[in-house]
Structure 1
Amino acid sequence: MTQTTETVVDRYITLVDRAVHEPQALAELGSVFAPEATVRFGDLPPVTGLADITEFYRRFYSDMADSKHVWTTTVLGDGTLKVRFIAAWRSLDGQLASQGGTERVTVDANGLITELLVLGPETEEAR
């Protein structure tokens, strides 16, 4: 049986949506990521360590004028978090885009993210 609840990953998604309008919000990533956490977005090279993760998100959101995620977080029996999401954004030049997928997240004993793996819609069912 799985349970759905508010988790650290829910705070993470809210934080990155805020960062589009408040870039200084990225300074708060240490409240959701462990110091040596790893983030993997699909086929992009993994990003490890809080400083590099912060810089990754700063660059990732730097050309966005707006961003909004809608998601459901489920805590699986082994403690892994499964997040199904849809994201929509508008770039600074006015282009609109969206994407959906699944994130798999592991959390340490302190409740901080140690690994966040973003799977696109084409790979989410394979995991």
Structure 2
Amino acid sequence: MTQTTATVVDRYITLVDRAVHEPQALQELGSVFAPGAIVQFGDVPPVTGLADITEFYRRFYSDMADCKHVWTTTALDERTLEVRFIAAWRMLDGQLASQGGTEHVTVDDSGLITNLRVLGPETQEAG
């Protein structure tokens, strides 16, 4: 089944889900992030620049055996997207966890992400 995505955020989330099984997919982050983009997850210090963002995601997903997001994307204006998401994953040691939250995303004239901020994630862990 081929998934068609409508926004850069949809392509981004599909890409990071793939990265769990295909770490080389992270090399495609340049197709969704501007070179000087900023990514910030909650209170974690922001990560700036494509090379550092790629390394951040490589480390973030390195202990996961599987991951799946479901989400809705709303255009707040022509440069701002709001994403409500739920993610569930299994760690390499078999532990399960899930998280829901909201992302605010800003895009440039080319439609690439310049700023992605995850707000208020709530994490649930199971066995």
What is the distance in 2 between the residues matched to 1:20 and 1:91?
10
SS of 1:59 mapped into structure 2? helix
In 1, Cα distance between equivalents of 2:91 and 2:15: 18
Q: In 2, are the aligned partners of 1:16 and 1:26 still within 8 Å (CA)?
A: yes
Q: 1:49 aligns to what?
A: 49
Question: Which digits, 9 at most, give the CA deviation of each residue in 1:16-63, with x for residues without a partner?
Answer: 000000000000000000000000000000000000000000000000
Give the Cα–Cα distance (whole angstroms) in 2 for the partners of residues 6 and 120 of structure 1. Answer: 25
- Structure 1 distance, partners of 2:11, 2:70, is 13
Look up the match of 1:38. 38
1:88 maps to 88
Task: State the 1:77 CA deviation.
Answer: 2.9
TM-superposed CA distance for 1:120, in Å, is: 1.9
Provide the residue aligned with 1:60 in structure 2: 60
Q: How many residues are aligned here?
A: 118
Are the aligned partners of 1:72 and 1:85 in contact in 2 as well (CA < 8 Å)?
Answer: yes
Letter in 1 for 2:18: R
State the superposition RMSD in angstroms. 1.2
Partner of 1:116: 116
Aligned residue for 2:51, secondary structure, equals helix
Aligned with 1:85: secondary structure? strand
Task: Indicate if the aligned counterparts of 1:6 and 1:73 stay in contact, CA closer than 8 A.
Answer: no
- Give how far 1:6 is off: 1.8
* Alpha-carbon distance in structure 2 between the residues aligned to 1:6 and 1:118: 20
Distance between the aligned counterparts of 1:54 and 1:66, measured in 2? 19
Unaligned runs of 5+ in 2: 123-127
Distance 1:71 1:35 in 2: 25
User: Match of 2:125?
Assistant: none
Pair 1:79 & 2:79 matched: yes
SS in 2 for 1:118: strand
Q: Which residue matches 1:125?
A: none
Is the contact made by 1:66 and 1:89 (CA closer than 8 Å) also made in structure 2?
yes
**How far off is 1:85 after superposition?**
0.1
TM-score normalised according to structure 1 size: 0.90
1:9 aligns with 2:19: no
In structure 2, how many angstroms separate the alpha carbons of the residues matched to 1:20 and 1:78? 31
Give the match's secondary structure for 2:77: coil
